[in-house]
């Protein structure tokens, strides 16, 4: 059970927005003078804030870019069922240490989640229905039924295979997943 101070949010105060970098005049401006010739036309070196240490630059959003090779490796490892923490460890080893890795474990989790969501958006109900039809033809004890809403979109589905029937006989209950 959670303490009331965590349940009630009355005395909670939002943190002030970061002041780091606001009004910072540091900049470099490069302009093209002739065809293919560039010059530095303006350079201000003074910052009004502390700079990120080399070890913490990997947490700056602009530095957290995944390469095509990294994305492909994350895809393969994620599809193999490997957890984001282990994927991060593998990428860290491949990049020569955690300090050289240009993403966080959370970035890996978010990337994999977005990829999975995009895959499901592309006809997830149709994929499930296709699987049910094949299973119904191949497995003699397989049963499924679906309900659609007015628009013809999937509303509910039920399936029973040999394993679920055996579990029902053993435990005598059914798990229902409803939204």
For every residue of 160-173, DSSP letters joined together read E-HHHHHHHHHH--
pLDDT tens readout for residues 117-169: 766 565 777 888 888 999 888 888 899 998 877 777 777 888 888 888 888 88
Q: Please indicate, yes or no, whether residues 70 and 115 belong to a single structural domain of this protein.
A: yes
Q: Please indicate, yes or no, whether residues 64 and 114 belong to a single structural domain of this protein.
A: yes
Distance CA 117, CA 135 (A): 24
At residue 87 the predicted structure's pLDDT band, cuts being 50, 70 and 90, is very high
Of 90, 106, 121, the domain-final residue: 121
Q: Please indicate, yes or no, whether residues 69 and 116 belong to a single structural domain of this protein.
A: yes
Q: Please indicate, yes or no, whether residues 162 and 107 belong to a single structural domain of this protein.
A: no
Q: Answer whether residue 150 is part of any domain.
A: yes
pLDDT at 58 over 80: no
Q: What is the pLDDT of residue 146?
A: 87
Interval 91-115 mean pLDDT: 86
pLDDT at 90 over 90: yes
Q: Which residue has the higher pLDDT, 58 or 47?
A: 47
3-state secondary structure of 30: strand
Q: What is the pLDDT of residue 30?
A: 92
Q: Answer whether residue 16 is part of any domain.
A: no
CA angle, 80 then 58 then 81, to 5°: 10
At residue 6 the predicted structure's pLDDT band, cuts being 50, 70 and 90, is low
Domain boundaries, position 69: 57-121
Q: What is the pLDDT of residue 165?
A: 84
As a whole number of angstroms, the longest Cα–Cα distance in the chain is 82
The count of domains in the chain is 2
Distance CA 166, CA 107 (A): 41
Interval 68-81 mean pLDDT: 91
Of 87, 102, 121, the domain-final residue: 121
Q: Please indicate, yes or no, whether residues 165 and 136 belong to a single structural domain of this protein.
A: yes
Q: Please indicate, yes or no, whether residues 106 and 139 belong to a single structural domain of this protein.
A: no
At residue 73 the predicted structure's pLDDT band, cuts being 50, 70 and 90, is very high
């Amino acid at each position: 059970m959670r303490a009331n101070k965590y349940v009630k949010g009355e005395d909670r105060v939002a943190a002030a927005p970061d002041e780091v970098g606001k009004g910072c005049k540091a900049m470099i401006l490069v302009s093209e003078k002739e065809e293919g010739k560039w010059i530095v036309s303006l350079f201000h070196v003074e910052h009004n804030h502390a700079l990120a240490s080399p070890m913490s630059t990997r947490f700056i959003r602009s530095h957290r870019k995944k390469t095509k090779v990294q994305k492909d490796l994350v895809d393969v490892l994620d599809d193999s069922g490997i957890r984001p923490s282990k994927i991060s460890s593998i990428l860290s080893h491949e990049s020569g240490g955690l300090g050289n890795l240009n993403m966080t474990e959370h970035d890996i989790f978010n990337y994999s989640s977005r990829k999975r969501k995009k895959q499901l958006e592309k006809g997830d109900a149709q994929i499930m229905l296709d699987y049910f039809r094949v299973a119904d033809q191949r497995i003699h004890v397989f049963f499924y039924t679906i309900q659609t809403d007015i628009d013809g979109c999937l509303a509910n589905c039920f399936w029973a295979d040999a394993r679920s029937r055996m579990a029902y006989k053993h435990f005598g209950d059914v798990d229902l997943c409803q939204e």
